[in-house]
A = this chain, B = another copy of it.
Amino acid sequence: MSSRAEATKRKLFEATLRLAGTRGLVGLTVDDIATEAGVAKGTVYYNFGSKDGLVDALLRYGVDLLAERMRAMVTDGDPLDTIESQVDTTLEFISEYPGFSQILVSEMWRTPGQWHETLTLLREEIISIVKHQLQRLDDADRLPDGVQIPTAAAGLFGTMLVVALDWQTFQPTRTRVEVRDSIMLLVKGMAR
Number of residues of chain A lying within 8 A (CB) of chain B: 46
A165, B106: Cβ atoms closer than 8 Å: no
A146, B102: Cβ atoms closer than 8 Å: no
B162, A166: Cβ atoms closer than 8 Å: no
A40-48, A55-63, A76-84, A182-190: which one contacts chain B?
Answer: A182-190
Q: Which residues of A contact B (CB under 8 A)?
A: 21-24, 26-27, 102, 105-113, 120, 123, 144, 146-148, 151-152, 154-155, 158-159, 161-163, 165-166, 168-171, 174, 181-183, 185-186, 188-190
Other contacts beyond A26-B26, A106-B110: 10, CB < 8 A: A23-B110, A24-B113, A151-B182, A154-B163, A155-B159, A155-B166, A158-B162, A158-B163, A186-B186, A189-B190
